[in-house]
Structure 1
Amino acid sequence: MFTPKREKGTSYFHEEIGHGNWLLDGAGFSPTQEEEETSSTNAAPAVIVEKPRDEVAILIEGKVRDTPSFWPDCCIYKVPHRFRRGNEGFYEPRVVSIGPYHSHQGSFPQMQIFKLKYLEAFLSRNKLSLDQCLGLVRTWEAKARRFYVDRIDLSSNEFAELILVDAIFVLELMIRRQFFEYVDDCDRIYRKPRMIEDVFHDVLLIENQIPFFVLEGLYDLVDNSSKRTLKFFVELTHEFLKVSVKIDKFGADRAPVPGVNHGVKHFVDFIRCYYLPLEDEKHEYGHRVYEIPPSVTALEDAGVKFATTSTRSLLDIQFNRGCLKIPNFRVDDWTETVFKNLIAFEQCHDHQVKYISELMFLMGCMIKTSKDVDLLIEHEIISSMLGSNVDVSTLFNHIGQGVGFCQPNYYFSLCKKLNAYCKSPWHRWKAILKRDYFNTPWKCFLQLLQLYSSC
């Protein structure tokens, strides 16, 4: 039997204990509580080694920190690519940049000179100091920046200068339009008919907007003698825009109320407000399906009658007892620009019902060919200032391209009624009889005589 050799000076007792500890270590031997406390007291503190951070994680965190904040105030957008492609002329300024989106270095240098001339005249006539106006604009900087969806990479000084110069340019443009005596002989905008047309075009673009509250705040500084009867900026805006977009025709119930905060965001939003239905209008919305309406020609073949109506809203299209009533729609050189920008605003903004988008989609479905336009012009529903009816049908087919909808569907009930009417055999037979056999009293008499003779 093998016996381990005992070291000199070591008893068998100590040897067995020591040897036993060595044999039982990790095999079920548990030290006492006292031994644990002693061991923990004498042991060196544990060193925790942190794992090196992933370089990509650090990079992502930096990008997150640099991401601009999103605000509910956002309402001035860059037009999405699906609308812009092939239609750049309807969304990009021709002669003047207003706001930061198109104010890149060297853009429209001649117009920058005109802006400064307008600024000088505005301050002089109203006895205002540049420091006073600039100080006011600086107090609005944070709020004004939040109106633009894209991040504005301008310093505080650059942003304040841009907003002040552009806002006063727009104000002076509006005031001179209303009070022509302020237009001097050297005015390079109002003395040049082609130029003012292009400037008006640029003022209506969604990418070319100044926050409405900035314009309104600066207008409050204008001397009352210069305002005449237009004491409130909302009145001046109405007078300025109605020339181009014909918003006056909807009657007094659409007129702006002086001294009331309408919550208007910018000029495009101001125009849209005029087309909206009144809050007390009862309307049946569709929440699940969309119905494509028949064309105007198909509706006429089914015996639908057409009539125009003077109504409170351009959206107020009604169909009752076989008669489709549509408010008069004037088509001119401004129509496509105005409605394309209204649609772009609606498609980008958080509107529960996209009224203008749905209206243009509806009209685009009903107006397929120049024959459809002929019928609507015949019934005085469309008043066209364009060259031909082919141009009108092309315009309506282009305006609604790329439009998307959210629920609910404003024209669901109308389209459902029109489709049901056209699918009814009785309505179609009645229309054929009326058109082919009973369109004149004499022809009706001959048909009855022929029927009598055959009996």
Structure 2
Amino acid sequence: MAEAEENQMLLPIYCRSTDHKDQLPIMDNAVVVEVKDNLKKLLMKSVAVEKLGSSGKTIKPSIYKIPNFIKDVHKEAYMPHMVSFGPYHHGEKNLAPMEQEKLKVFRHLVDVKGVDYESIVRNVSNILEDLYGEYDDLDEGWWKDNAGSAEFMKMMIIDGCFMLVFFSNDEGYKSLITLKSDIKRDILLLENQLPFQLLKLLYEILPIRKDQNTTLTSLISNLLFVEKDELAIVEKKHILHMYRASLLYPSTLSYPNMDEIKKNNKDDKFGLKCQLIPQATLLREAGIRFRKSENKSLENVSFEKGVLKLPLLIVDDNTETNLLNVMAFEKLHDVGSQVTSFVVLMNNLIDIDKDVELLSNDNIIANALGNNEEAANLFSVLGKGVSLDLGSNNLTEVHQLVNIHCDDSWNRWWANLKHTYFQNPWAIISFFGAIFGFAILIVQAVYQIVDFHTK
């Protein structure tokens, strides 16, 4: 019966000739069946990738393959240089030397430290579906059969053990300590993440704790040079997620009043005043001063009474890679766009080396690159292809308030006066001398007029 109904509701498929004049409906059973089969296979494949976790719920991925439209900004910033973690870069030839180091570390844990690897395998197998669920767009070879699953589990165990030993800073692994900065860079790549659930499980088994006060969170905080409390507020999915949290700690999140912003920008059809502001040197000429915020959270930005407060930002060789990967994570995962919005603000403020010099003098930027022009180019790269998420944080309101200040004619006049006459002590003396002389002339004129009328 169902088959009969299916035959009665065939889809009309139209064949168009090359001259686009004739259209003939074709009722082709074979085409319809093939399309249905292909869609069914596609849906089945999707279900296979989005596996259920140990709790029976579908796990939302948190580790992503970065699409080309993001990578095109600066491909090298997303690629590991020294070591791979997880499936996305596993087996790449340029990373092969560190694979041997991973095996040495695991062998040392088993032979010298006495780690029971059979216990590790049993425990990791219990969360295998959870680990699969954390990875987006995982190649079929990792999960389609038992051999693929075994290879995936082995990789998770060896990579996780290696990462935890690296965190521990154990003197028994001096070769890892000498490569600390390079490995740390690769640990903060989005495509190089390991699920935090795996690291927690392995941490409970491996003998790498030095005392009772040492925790996994404290080991990670030592690596990232942040306070332990910055990472312990909310449990995160992986190390990059935790690093992002450290950039926004302590949280000062506030959302702007979009109705008020729209009212103040009723003539700004495209909302440019909420997204663009002049560079730092031009803002200084407009009378705006810069001050360092009370804490280092990238959300802690405010503008009041002509003073723009910004958090201290340390710019070094890893700043570009770290921020680009955090921004990619924000774009692909539903965590907000606070770091991206801050980068948009800094890209607006910094255009030339003079802008970097100005912000450095005001203790907003600590430039470890040594060259102001390099720092300016860095923010130019970071700002490519990104825009401010209107209404997601208070930076929209900050942009608007800065533009309102710059548009005010009194502020422009007063700023021009200061720029012209208050740049050095002699100019100030000359300015007030001129005012004093002009006042004397007025007094003399008044006395002459009074004297004339008296006589």
Normalising by structure 2, we get a TM-score of 0.78
1:273 aligns with 2:245: yes
Partner of 1:372: 355
1:62 aligns with 2:41: yes
In structure 2, how many angstroms separate the alpha carbons of the residues matched to 1:114 and 1:220?
Answer: 22
For the 8 Å contact 2:251–2:297, the answer to whether it is kept is: no
- The change in CA–CA distance for 1:390 and 1:431 in structure 2 (over 3 A counts) is same
Question: What does the per-residue CA deviation read over 1:322-356, in whole Å, with 9 as the maximum and x for residues that have no partner?
Answer: 111111111111110110000000000012x3101
What SS does structure 1 have at the residue aligned with 2:292? strand
Normalising by structure 1, we get a TM-score of 0.78
Greater helix share, structure number: 2
> After the TM superposition, which residues 47-446 of structure 1 pair with which residues of structure 2 at under 5 Å, given as runs?
51=7, 52-53=29-30, 54=32, 55-67=34-46, 68-70=48-50, 71-104=58-91, 106=93, 108-124=95-111, 126-152=113-139, 153-154=141-142, 155-176=148-169, 179=170, 181-184=171-174, 187=175, 189-191=176-178, 195-223=179-207, 226-242=209-225, 247-248=226-227, 254-257=229-232, 262-276=234-248, 278=250, 282-286=254-258, 289=271, 290-311=274-295, 313-351=297-335, 353-404=336-387, 406-410=389-393, 411-439=395-423, 440=425, 441-446=428-433
Query: Structure 1: where are the runs of 5+ without partners?
Result: 1-46
Residue 453 of structure 1: CA displacement? 7.3
* Residue identity in the other structure for 1:448: I
Partner of 1:4: none
In structure 2, how many angstroms separate the alpha carbons of the residues matched to 1:309 and 1:404?
Answer: 23
Residue 278 of structure 1: CA displacement? 5.0
Question: What does the per-residue CA deviation read over 1:274-306, in whole Å, with 9 as the maximum and x for residues that have no partner?
Answer: 223656754425487443122212211111111
- The change in CA–CA distance for 1:89 and 1:330 in structure 2 (over 3 A counts) is same
* Residue identity in the other structure for 2:230: A
In structure 2, how many angstroms separate the alpha carbons of the residues matched to 1:87 and 1:442?
Answer: 52
In structure 1, how many angstroms separate the alpha carbons of the residues matched to 2:300 and 2:102?
Answer: 41
- The change in CA–CA distance for 1:445 and 1:50 in structure 2 (over 3 A counts) is closer
Partner of 2:10: none
Residue 73 of structure 1: CA displacement? 2.5
* Residue identity in the other structure for 2:248: L
Question: What does the per-residue CA deviation read over 1:39-76, in whole Å, with 9 as the maximum and x for residues that have no partner?
Answer: xxxxxxxx979855533333332333223444443000
- The change in CA–CA distance for 1:443 and 1:125 in structure 2 (over 3 A counts) is farther
Question: What does the per-residue CA deviation read over 1:391-424, in whole Å, with 9 as the maximum and x for residues that have no partner?
Answer: 1111111112112555523111111110000001
In structure 2, how many angstroms separate the alpha carbons of the residues matched to 1:332 and 1:321?
Answer: 32
In structure 2, how many angstroms separate the alpha carbons of the residues matched to 1:371 and 1:306?
Answer: 14
> After the TM superposition, which residues 18-57 of structure 1 pair with which residues of structure 2 at under 5 Å, given as runs?
51=7, 52-53=29-30, 54=32, 55-57=34-36
- The change in CA–CA distance for 1:121 and 1:447 in structure 2 (over 3 A counts) is farther
- The change in CA–CA distance for 1:127 and 1:396 in structure 2 (over 3 A counts) is same
In structure 2, how many angstroms separate the alpha carbons of the residues matched to 1:296 and 1:240?
Answer: 33
> Percent same amino acid at aligned positions?
26
For the 8 Å contact 1:347–1:404, the answer to whether it is kept is: no
